[in-house]
Amino acid sequence: MKTAFRSSAILVVLTLLGCSNNTPSAPACRTTDEKTHTEQQAACVIKTEYSVLMIRHRLSGRLDFPGGGAQEGESLACTAHRETWEETGLNVLVRDKVAVTKNGLALFACDESADLDQLPTEFSAPEWSAIEVIQLEKVRPFEIDHDHLRYPDDLIPLRDAYVAHSPTAQ
């Protein structure tokens, strides 16, 4: 009886540890966008050379923006920042909103300083994002079609955001 109880207790502890969130706290929100927006979800469009950084979503196996829903009291720009951090590990600078998808996802032009140009086309996402993200990919938005995306209607907003995303003066 004692052995069964100990085994049960060990399983409970291992389950709790296995289900715990090991995501490091997001860095302070970095944004130049102080506007109020009506959308409830946001994502970053991170332009690198002739590509955009996207996530390969675990459940669908398709490409998606690094983004998600706003938390209570969080600005939409800070939602894009936090979600991008959680899914890519990048501490981006969130600039202007450049597009909105049919589903109401606000797309922000985001800059990174991790020199993504030096990384391969496909590379690993942070360990903590493995529940949602298979890998990170640099995608040329005019060389993919609707079927590559988790939400096929996102193709035109992706292309619009890519064109509208101009680099910051450095």
Give the CA distances from residue 99 to residues 128, 159, 170, in Å, rounded to whole numbers and listed in that order. 28, 9, 24
The whole-number pLDDT of residue 13 equals 33
Question: Which residue, 42, 41, 27, 135, is CA-closest to 91?
Answer: 27
150, part of any domain: yes
Does an H or E element contain 64, and which?
strand 63-64
In a domain, 7, yes or no: no
Summarize the confidence of residues 67-93 as an average pLDDT.
96
User: Would 26 be classed as within a structural domain?
Assistant: no
Q: What would the DSSP string read from start to end of 91-152?
A: -PEEEEEEEE-TT-EEEEEEE--S-GGGS-SEEPPPGGGTTTEEEEEEE-TTS--GGGBSSG
Domain housing 77: 42-164
Residue 17 has a pLDDT of 37
Query: 58, 65, 166, 62: which is closest to 111 by C-alpha?
Result: 166
Partners of 164 in the β-ladder:
none
Q: Is it the case that residue 124 has pLDDT exceeding 60?
A: yes
Q: Which two tokens stand for residue 24?
A: 């490091």
Is 14 a member of any domain?
A: no
Structural domain contains residue 2? no
What is the rounded distance in angstroms from the CA atom of residue 31 to the CA atom of residue 37?
14
Q: What pLDDT, on a 0 to 100 scale, did the predictor assign at position 26?
A: 84
Residue 32 is assigned to a structural domain of this protein? no
As a whole number, mean pLDDT of residues 113-120 equals 87
User: Quick check: 154 pLDDT over 90?
Assistant: yes
Count of domains forming the chain: 1
Look at residue 157 and tell me if it is in a domain.
yes
More confident residue, 167 or 15: 167
Tokens 């109020």 found at: 36
Alpha-carbon distance 105 to 102, whole Å?
A: 7
Residue 21: band (very low, low, confident or very high) from pLDDT cuts 50, 70, 90: low
Reported as a single tens digit per residue, the pLDDT across 25-54 is 889 999 998 898 999 999 999 999 899 999
118 within some domain: yes
CA dist list (Å): 85 to 5, 28, 100, 128: 41, 10, 20, 10
Question: Domain holding 63: CATH number?
Answer: 3.90.79.10
